[in-house]
Each structure stands twice: as structure tokens, then as C-alpha cells.
Structure 1
């Protein structure tokens, strides 16, 4: 496998694994995401789409899309750092609330779990899911760029 193909595979695998973990913790572990948790997912979704598209393109546009996917992965990591900082009370977060999709009715408001962005629902050795996403995403993004550099 060439370094470019490895970069493309990592640009797909890193956000796919992160999203699998996020969705698994939500639907299997019943850890409902707060608004900032959703913000961390958006760049991963973009990175997955870019990495899939890159598999079907010639070398030069492929490199560009893989690079954009790496940037998206790093953006998720940056949001994860911000979110972890809010959870650890290093700085204040945004004071907006979040809800699930659908029509807003009194019943839907009352049925929506109240998930605070400044309180970690789960930690492992003091590291929250936002912290793990930050670590995973930053290492993944750097790894993609390192492989892209080797592919020159």
C-alpha cells in the first residue's frame, strides 16, 4: 500500500472510529450528547465524506481532499479541547441549550434529557469523552499529514 493510500485509509478510519465510539456511547451506553458533543461530530462526518470521495479521484485532487479531511479531523480535536476545558471548568462555555430534532412541543421539551456541556457524563482516569476525542483527533490528523508528507 502506498503512503498516499495509507493516508487516505487513515483519513477515513480515524473519524469513522471516533464516530463509532460516539454513536456507540449514545445508543448503547445511553450517554446523550450535549450541543458541543454534536459540534465535534460534524467535522468527522465531513472528513469521512472527503476521504471516501478521495478514493475515487486521481493523485493530485486526492491529496487535496485527504489534506482537507485531515484539517477537519484536527478541527474536531480543537473543538474537543474547548469542550474538555469547559467540562474541567478551565473556561466558561456557551450558555445555549440543545434539543433533539423534530417539532418543538411541550411534550418534546419535557421528554428531552437535560445534558449540560460543562459536566462530563463519563471519564476514564479523569479524561472525558471530549478529552479522548481531542487526543484521538489530533493524533489522527497529524498522522494523516505525516503520511501525506511521505507520499510526496
Structure 2
């Protein structure tokens, strides 16, 4: 098996950690607050990390093909992430309508407490990119990265047949 194919589970896991680290740094250091669709895209990477670790651990012949199945699952997970990112990019470009709810609140307490929580919450719009580079938003770059990671994961699954 070529060296790249052997390292695919590690590459996918490291990329997922790096992407999540970057967006959390942009949020907490750069002040770029995520919208609802941004969170949906993050959930893909949050799910990919433990799956990637499992793929690394089971990437041995005696594991009975577990790594192949996990890589296929990761490939489909990243394709789903590309779909979410593409949808988000389309919302940003005003090609279609985004979700009506932009965030959730805790409905505990009195009506006044809920009202104050709603009024204090920042509204992060899904149709207004907070950052762009060369005309692409983070959702656009995530679409591209997700497709690359999906192709890599599916190649890894295929090479383990």
C-alpha cells in the first residue's frame, strides 16, 4: 500500500482537528461568531475526529476491514459536510433561502428571563458571510475542503479492498 494511502486516517483526523481549531480560534480570538449553518458544518468535523481515531487504531490487517468501513463512513460524512457547506454558500449568495432559525435559546425561567435572553442574543445571519478571501466565504472554502477530504477518505477505503 502506498505511503499516502497508509496515512489517510491520520491525515483526515489531523485535518478535522486543524479545521475545528481554526474556526474556534476565529470565533474566540477573531470575534467571528458562527451562524446556525456554521455550527452544522462543525458537527461534521466533531463526528469525524473520533471516527478518524478509530480508523487509525483499526488500520491493521487483523482488524478485519474495520478501517475500510470507517474510511467509507468518513467519506460519506465529508460528502454530507460538503452538502451543508454548499447549501450555506448558496444561502450567502442569495441563491436560495436559509433556515428561519438562526440560534436557539434556553427556555428556562420566567417570561421576563426568556425575553431578556432573546434580546441579549446576537443575531448571526446565515446569508451574510462575516469573512471572505478571494471572493469565497468560509462556507465556500469548507465546501472545497470537504470534497477533498471525502475523496481522500473514499480513496483510502478503496485501497483497502
Q: TM-score, normalised by structure 2?
A: 0.83
- Is the Cα contact below 8 Å between 1:99 and 1:112 reproduced in 2? no
Report which of the two structures shows the higher radius of gyration computed on alpha carbons: 2
Runs of 4+ in 1 over 3 A off after TM superposition: 1-5, 99-104
Q: What value does the CA root-mean-square deviation take over the aligned residues?
A: 2.1
- Aligned partners of 1:41, 1:22: CA distance in 2, in Å? 8
Is it true that 1:69 corresponds to 2:74 in the alignment? yes
What corresponds to 1:12 in structure 2?
13
Going from structure 1 to structure 2, the CA distance change for 1:133 and 1:62 (only over 3 Å counts) comes to same
**Gaps spanning 5+ residues in structure 1: where?**
none
**Gaps spanning 5+ residues in structure 2: where?**
none
What CA deviation, in whole Å up to 9, does each residue of 1:17-69 have, x standing for no partner? 22122111111111111111111111111111111122222250111112211
Q: TM-score, normalised by structure 1?
A: 0.88
99-108 or 13-22, which moves further after superposition?
99-108
Aligned length: 152
How far apart are residue 4 of structure 1 and its match? 4.8
3-state SS, counterpart of residue 80 of structure 1: helix
What corresponds to 1:140 in structure 2?
149
